[in-house]
Structure 1
């Protein structure tokens, strides 16, 4: 069982997974130097890659390996959440084009929608066309993107790629490599070599080709007699393995710090800061390169004030609320004006409300001139929003119970845990949506220990508001 790891969590995850008995392969030069070890260059059973927004990782590959890796990641903290992708990377579908856009087409694959760039199809596609496609790139559920599709059916690997109906590479290395390893690609498939194969041993390449041929055979078997896209779309021909998206919360990031600190110099809040922005990530690298001891390993010593001063938010900025849902979706609650930023990690934001409808749970109308004031505190499991009318009179308070708040330069992130506490204008305190939390637990979206924490926090908040 082996994995390839890339991105800002690589050092921590290399140690975590290695200690769990999972082989890390194809490690970069800096990782080999950091661990003072040689890592095999061979086929990986799964790839673990940081998401584009740095909030978590995608784990994709052989189903057994993906499940084992995700099990290990879930143990990092209560606020590590994971969601299986309905369109796993490598899966093959018969899909129907439902919409054409400027750069590609939206394809209904039955299990979900994918995006087929025009450059990934040899023929022009139009709405209503039915095509055979393969998922080549997934997208995390908390983003607005769609999985990327390709009409080439292939077994794409780190060392080599087999293409159904393709031709074998005619470069000097192509036929020569096959002669050396005394093996051939499956009939009807062409092979090309990836850059990592330059550093791989012949046995590793032979093993990779054998594994690729097995997957190619499985695809051929799945397509044989299954019907062409015109007759069966939307339809799943081949599941390809598994892809799971893992979102790291604040507690999880500090647990990753501990893993990394056992290997190399790591400042307090290393992953928390790196997740904020590219510039913040570069600054962390600079600090750790200069200082052998850049700060305490105590989570409470996370330098929020300095981080906010350097990268934001600051008074006068705007901040969005990244309202994650336990099923993996992300709802952006609009931009709010930052009123103040306190050294202790409290950021106060305000939104001017538009007339129309009622405030959720409070049952009072939204009126022009109303103001919503939200106080967000880094690391706290809840945050209150007070609604006031144009005269400054309270219309009620809504307290959201969530995973520990992380305040990044332009977004405050958390996952909503359903249960909430309300304080009405008349002083009455009400706890709501426990049933939605129970349903999320039953659906497997919220682990029981996380749900217990949410209920405990809700009880404490309700008690405090009632005093």
Structure 2
């Protein structure tokens, strides 16, 4: 099982996966230097890439390798959660265009919706068109994006790409490369050599082409003799492989710190800070390059006060609540005004509420002039929101039980664990939504260990409020 890794978690994941017996390939120069080792420049059976928001990783490739990698990542911490993508990279569909936008079209593939940029389509695309497409780039479930589609069917890789119906590359090293590696692409497919081929041995190139030919054969088998897209859309022709998204919570990020610390200098909260913003990520690199031991003693503490002071949030600013759901969705609860930021990691925010409806589980009406005060504390498994009317009278408190809160410069992030505790205006304390947590465990979206932690936290909060 071979894996290519990219992004802010690369060093930690390289140590974790290599230690577990997987072959890390196509490593960057800095990683080779850090590990004082050479990594083969050969085809990867799976790729692990950090998501654009730095909250986790996407794992794509051969299903067996993807499952093995995800199993290892899931063991990092109780708050490492994962979701299989219904539209895996490499899958081929007959899709129907349901909407055209400025830069592309929304395509119903049956298993979900994808986005086809006009530049990836052959000819004009209109609503109602039915066409054959392939998933070329996934989209994490906690983002608002859709998987990217392409009208060209290909076996895409970092060493080479095989295109169905294409011709062999005419660029430098194109056909001549085939003579050197003594191998040919599958009939009906054209090969082009990618960047990683420059550093690969001839044997590795031949192996990569052979593996791509096998995958191309699987595509041909799935497509040859099938009904055209116009007759069967939406329909999946070919699985392609597997794509799974892994979200790292706070505990998991600190576990990744421990993996990285086995290899190189790693400050406390390394990955927690890096996940906050690109500027914070660069600052971490700077600190670790200057200092041989910038608080690298382990544990789950990190310099929250200085991090918040440098990058935010700050009093007078604003913060959104990134309310993750156990099924992978992310609901943004709106922007709140930051009232205070304390050195112990507590951030107090307020939102002015709109009239209409009732507050969840409290049964009291939402009225104009109401204010919601939320106290978030870095690393805590719960947070309270107290609702007050225009005269400052308390209408009730809702305590959300969740994975450990992470307070980034622009958002506080966590995953809701269903069970919550409420304190009514008359002082009555009530624990709610245990049935939803039980259902999530039954559905497999919340691991039992994490559910037990949620129940324990809810019990402790209810006891403290009584």
In the superposition, the TM-score normalised over structure 1's length comes to: 0.99
Q: Aligned equivalents of 2:367 and 2:318: distance in 1?
A: 22
RMSD: 0.6
Write out aligned runs for 1:437-456 (5 A).
Answer: 437-456=437-456
- Paired residue for 1:315? 315
- Paired residue for 1:220? 220
Q: Aligned equivalents of 2:414 and 2:18: distance in 1?
A: 29
- Paired residue for 1:386? 386
2:250–2:405 Cα contact (<8 Å) kept: yes
Q: Aligned equivalents of 1:256 and 1:302: distance in 2?
A: 14
**1:148-207 CA-partner distances (Å, limit 9, x unpaired):** 000000000111000001110123411111111111111111000001101000000000
Deviation (angstroms), 1:289? 0.4
- Paired residue for 1:244? 244
Q: Does 1:174 align with 2:180?
A: no
Deviation (angstroms), 1:296? 4.0
Write out aligned runs for 1:198-237 (5 A).
Answer: 198-237=198-237
Q: Aligned equivalents of 2:21 and 2:161: distance in 1?
A: 28
- Paired residue for 1:426? 426
Which ranges in structure 1 are unaligned for 5 or more consecutive residues?
none
Q: Does 1:342 align with 2:323?
A: no
**1:337-368 CA-partner distances (Å, limit 9, x unpaired):** 00000000000000011111100110000000
2:162–2:189 Cα contact (<8 Å) kept: yes
Q: Does 1:283 align with 2:295?
A: no
Deviation (angstroms), 1:300? 4.5
2:178–2:184 Cα contact (<8 Å) kept: yes
Deviation (angstroms), 1:301? 3.2
- Paired residue for 2:76? 76
2:254–2:300 Cα contact (<8 Å) kept: no
Q: Aligned equivalents of 1:232 and 1:410: distance in 2?
A: 45
Q: Aligned equivalents of 1:220 and 1:336: distance in 2?
A: 53
**SS in structure 2 of the partner of residue 30 of structure 1:** helix
Write out aligned runs for 1:270-419 (5 A).
Answer: 270-419=270-419
Q: Aligned equivalents of 1:2 and 1:250: distance in 2?
A: 28
- Paired residue for 2:50? 50
- Paired residue for 2:184? 184
**1:100-146 CA-partner distances (Å, limit 9, x unpaired):** 00000000000000000000012111000001000000000000000
Deviation (angstroms), 1:298? 3.6
**SS in structure 1 of the partner of residue 114 of structure 2:** strand
- Paired residue for 1:23? 23
Q: Aligned equivalents of 1:44 and 1:298: distance in 2?
A: 32
**SS in structure 2 of the partner of residue 418 of structure 1:** strand
Deviation (angstroms), 1:225? 1.9
- Paired residue for 2:118? 118
Q: Aligned equivalents of 1:298 and 1:310: distance in 2?
A: 23
**SS in structure 2 of the partner of residue 267 of structure 1:** coil
Write out aligned runs for 1:33-112 (5 A).
Answer: 33-112=33-112
Instruction: Assess, with a 3 A threshold, how the Cα gap between structure 1 residues 2 and 300 changes in structure 2: closer, same or farther.
Output: closer
Q: Aligned equivalents of 1:433 and 1:172: distance in 2?
A: 63
**SS in structure 2 of the partner of residue 27 of structure 1:** coil
Q: Aligned equivalents of 1:410 and 1:341: distance in 2?
A: 13
**SS in structure 2 of the partner of residue 299 of structure 1:** coil
Runs of 4+ in 1 over 2 A off after TM superposition: 296-301
Q: Aligned equivalents of 2:353 and 2:159: distance in 1?
A: 55
**1:253-277 CA-partner distances (Å, limit 9, x unpaired):** 0000000011000000000000000
Q: Aligned equivalents of 2:80 and 2:298: distance in 1?
A: 20
2:371–2:387 Cα contact (<8 Å) kept: yes
Deviation (angstroms), 1:297? 2.6
Q: Aligned equivalents of 1:423 and 1:116: distance in 2?
A: 49
Q: Does 1:7 align with 2:7?
A: yes
Q: Aligned equivalents of 1:259 and 1:465: distance in 2?
A: 38
Q: Aligned equivalents of 1:43 and 1:306: distance in 2?
A: 43
Q: Aligned equivalents of 1:112 and 1:225: distance in 2?
A: 25
**1:181-238 CA-partner distances (Å, limit 9, x unpaired):** 1111111110000011010000000000001011111101101122100000000000
- Paired residue for 2:145? 145
**SS in structure 1 of the partner of residue 293 of structure 2:** coil
2:269–2:300 Cα contact (<8 Å) kept: no
In the superposition, the TM-score normalised over structure 2's length comes to: 0.99
Deviation (angstroms), 1:336? 0.3
Which ranges in structure 2 are unaligned for 5 or more consecutive residues?
none
Q: Aligned equivalents of 1:249 and 1:403: distance in 2?
A: 7
Q: Does 1:435 align with 2:440?
A: no
